[in-house]
Amino acid sequence: MDIDDRVTLEKISHYLDLTKRARAKATPIHEEGTEQAKQLAVMMRMADDYSSDARHFMEKGDYVRAFGAINYAHAWIDAGVKLRLLDGHGDDVLFTLP
């Protein structure tokens, strides 16, 4: 079996794009002002901050930290879908559905 265990610019770019698509596709389920919407806002801020960190690390050539950060970003979005704060619209490629 051939294992690709290298963190490359292409791999990071792929996951940045995947997370960007997930962020764009997932939509809030609860109305603004509800406790769930407030919780979701915190989660999405974390996702956005980690995405920003990933781009920053990538630009500096720190691919390992970039890869870790973008995976954290996607995990926050995925958790929002799993917790039913976000609607993943049945997309089982971008999200782990409830």
Query: What is the pTM (predicted TM-score) of this model?
Result: 0.92
CA distance 90 to 6: 31
Question: Which CATH number describes the domain made up of 32-93?
Answer: 1.20.1270
Model pLDDT, residue 4: 83
**DSSP secondary structure letters along the chain:** --------HHHHHHHHHHHHHHHHH-EE-SPTTSHHHHHHHHHHHHHHHHHHHHHHHHHHT-HHHHHHHHHHHHHHHHHHHHTTSEE-TT-TTTS---
Q: Give pLDDT tens digits along the chain (98 positions).
A: 888 889 999 999 999 999 999 999 999 999 999 999 999 999 999 999 999 999 999 999 999 999 999 999 999 999 999 999 999 999 999 999 87
